[in-house]
Structures are given as structure tokens and as C-alpha cells.
Amino acid sequence: MTSQINHHLKSHSNWKATISLLFGVLSLIPFIFLGLIIIEVIQKPIPIPAAPLIDLILFPGAPLIALSGLIFGIKGLKSKKKNMAMVGIVFSTIGLLVSIIYHSFVW
């Protein structure tokens, strides 16, 4: 009976690893857009109307998403999808560090 309960609890903790990976990837997306904007500006120096929109909407949320992904990844290490949780932790950490660096220089 106890092993069935433990198996049930472990199978329901798999979603934490998946959410960690999802949040890790989502925390990197604004910075991919930033890289594309920088490349576009270097190639053709024209004003890009979407740049302020990306800056106002996506960048303030990136650290929160990365921090949430880091927390879910740490909790997801106890699940069967340990590798997915580890990748989510790595992506979330990169997203959090890039967010901190970006916000310390720009804001």
C-alpha cells in the first residue's frame, strides 16, 4: 500500500519538471528577440517599432518566469523526469542571469 502511494505521488510530480523546462525556455525568448533586433539594426539601421513593445511587455516578466522555472526545477528533481528538470534549471538560471545583467545596465 505504501509503495502504491509513493508511486502515485512521484508520478504526479512529473509536471514540475515539465513546467520548469517550459518556463526556462520562455525566460530566454525575450533575449532571443533582443538578439534579432540587434542584428536587424546592425544590418539596416532603421527604427523598429516593436522594440519598445518587447522591452515593456516581455523583459519585466522574464525574471519572474525564470525564477518560477528555477523553483519548479528544484522541486522536479525528485520526479522521474530528472533530466528535464535539470535542463529547466539550466535554462532558467541562464534566463535569470541574463535578466539581471540586462536590467542592471538598461534600467
Would you give per-residue pLDDT tens digits along the chain (107 residues)? 556 555 655 556 688 999 999 999 988 887 777 776 666 666 665 555 555 555 555 567 788 889 999 999 999 998 888 999 999 999 999 988 888 877 776 65
Q: Cβ distance 3 to 68 under 8 Å? A: no
pLDDT reported for residue 70: 94
pTM: 0.71
What SS3 state is found at 79? coil
Separation of alpha carbons 78 and 75, rounded Å: 6
Cell numbers found for residue 105: 545596465
